């Protein structure tokens, strides 16, 4: 029988101190850390994603970091597979688990779960692969049978078009019909979620300092190397901290404007994250950073 492990989540806006807090607590409660960050998942995107340092990664075993190349697709179902593997590892190693990061949508997906997909045979997979050679025609077909599902899927989004088409060909149902018949089941049923509550002015100052640190650590060089190796096409290359550097490299803005744009766009992201965290979770405890460590340790 698998040993029951303690799981908790630490969320908060970007630059709020989540990673440092998670490492402190992990060292005290014998835990591994699973990152929920849509950029740290990628290898080579180190400065832009503000990953924990090598020293920090060596202090506590981390998962969900440096998993994919920047030109590979990342999605909720991939994250859930990573989570399931991490839980197995924690049980085998008799470790607790701290889930930490700014992409709280992935955490919400763990709590809500994903719908199962129909059985896809090799024959159906091959047939869909051939169909996808005419990507726009596939998008039009799916849009005609399920306009609601397809309304937010771009005609060039090959990954999501393929997923929708596989569901349709394998089940005979439109994606919306299939998901209605097969509602999601939670992956985690009970989870204590702790949110870092931080004043806007304090957060803006932290973001500004982090932006300066990124620049001094070689941000521009990192983006140049990423562009040379992967081009500007991958989804990850449209992230905050990368697009602003491209604008600078293209001569559209000065270096000072680039720095200001990164700080401004990061602050806007942080505001969206705070709104999401405040409204999307039920069992959540919010407190300032300096109080959360004690609150968490008392509850375990």
200: CATH: 3.40.50.300
Same domain, 215 and 284: yes
Task: Check pLDDT > 60 for residue 218.
Answer: yes
Q: Has residue 260 been placed in a domain?
A: yes
Q: Are residues 104 and 56 in the same domain?
A: yes
Domain closes at, from 181, 200, 224: 181
The model's confidence at residue 211, banded by pLDDT at 50, 70 and 90, is very high
Whole domain around residue 148: which residue ranges? 122-181
Q: Are residues 173 and 222 in the same domain?
A: no
List residues bridging with 185 in a β-sheet.
Answer: 114
Q: How many domains does the chain have?
A: 2
* CA–CA dist 298, 287 (Å, integer): 14
In-domain check, residue 2: no
Rounded mean pLDDT, 136-145:
97
Q: Is residue 44 part of a domain?
A: yes
Find residue 100's DSSP bridge partners.
10, 35
Whether residue 56 sits in one domain with residue 14: yes
How distant is the alpha carbon of residue 181 from its chain centre?
27
Same domain? For 293 and 155 the reply is no
Answer whether residue 2 shows pLDDT above 60. no
Q: Which residues of 255-283 are buried (b: 16+ CB within 10 A; e: fewer)?
A: eeebbebbbbbbbebbeebbebbeebbee
d(CA 120, CA 125): 7
Report which of 109, 111, 99, 114 is spatially closest to residue 12, judged by C-alpha positions. Answer: 99
Among 149, 181, 213, residue at a domain's last position: 181
Same domain, 36 and 152: no
The CA distance from 259 to 212, in Å, is 8
Helix (H) / strand (E) element for 54: namely helix 54-59
Q: Is the pTM of the predicted complex or chain greater than 0.95?
A: no
Please tell me whether residues 202 and 166 are part of one structural domain: no
Within this chain, do residues 200 and 292 fall inside the same structural domain, yes or no? Answer: yes
Report pLDDT for 4. 81
240/136 same-domain check = no
Same domain, 100 and 227: yes
Instruction: Establish if 13 belongs to a structural domain.
Output: yes
Given 130, 150, 181, the domain boundary residue is 181
Average the pLDDT over 211-230 and give the result. 98
Mean of per-residue pLDDT scores for the chain: 95
Q: Has residue 26 been placed in a domain? A: yes
The per-residue pLDDT for range 80-97, each reduced to its tens digit, is 999 999 999 999 999 999
1 has a pLDDT exceeding 80: no
Beta 62-63 vs 96-101: how paired, if at all? unpaired
**pLDDT tens digits, residue range 248-281?**
999 999 999 999 999 999 999 999 999 999 999 9
Residue 193, pLDDT above cutoff 60: yes
Indicate whether 1 belongs to any domain: no
Asked if 252 contacts 261 with a C-beta cutoff of 8 angstroms, the reply is no
Q: How far apart are CA 131 and CA 142, in angstroms?
A: 12
Question: Residues 148-157: what's their mean pLDDT?
Answer: 93
pLDDT of 3 reads: 64
24 and 106 both lie in a single domain? yes
Give the Cα separation of 277 and 268 in Å (integer): 14
In a domain, 30, yes or no: yes
The reply to whether 245 falls in a domain is yes
Q: Are residues 201 and 245 in the same domain?
A: yes
């Amino acid at each position: 029988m698998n040993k029951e492990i303690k799981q908790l989540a630490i969320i908060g806006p970007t630059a709020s101190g989540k990673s440092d807090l998670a490492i402190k607590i992990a060292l005290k409660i014998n835990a591994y850390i699973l990152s929920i960050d849509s950029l740290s998942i990628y290898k080579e995107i180190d400065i832009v994603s503000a990953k924990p340092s090598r020293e920090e990664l060596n202090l506590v075993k981390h998962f969900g970091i440096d998993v994919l190349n920047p030109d590979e697709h990342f999605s909720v179902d991939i994250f859930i597979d990573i989570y399931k593997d991490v839980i197995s590892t924690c049980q085998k190693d008799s470790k607790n688990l701290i889930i930490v990061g700014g992409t709280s949508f992935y955490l919400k997906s763990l709590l809500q779960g994903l719908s199962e997909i129909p059985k896809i045979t090799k024959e159906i997979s091959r047939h869909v692969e051939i169909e996808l050679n005419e990507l726009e025609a596939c998008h039009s077909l799916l849009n005609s049978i399920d306009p609601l599902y397809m309304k937010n899927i771009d005609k060039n989004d090959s990954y999501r078009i393929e997923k929708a088409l596989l569901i349709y060909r394998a089940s005979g149902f439109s994606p919306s019909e299939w998901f209605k018949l097969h509602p999601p089941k939670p992956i985690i049923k009970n989870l204590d979620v702790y949110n870092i509550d931080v004043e806007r002015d304090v957060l803006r100052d932290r973001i500004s300092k982090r932006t300066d640190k990124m620049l001094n650590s070689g941000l521009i060089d990192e983006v140049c190397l990423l562009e040379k190796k992967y081009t500007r096409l991958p989804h990850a290359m449209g992230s905050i901290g990368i697009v602003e550097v491209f604008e600078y490299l293209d001569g559209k803005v000065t270096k000072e404007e680039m720095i200001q744009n990164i700080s401004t766009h990061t602050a806007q992201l942080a505001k969206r994250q705070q709104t999401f965290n405040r409204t999307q979770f039920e069992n959540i405890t919010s407190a300032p950073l300096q109080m959360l460590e004690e609150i968490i340790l008392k509850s375990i």
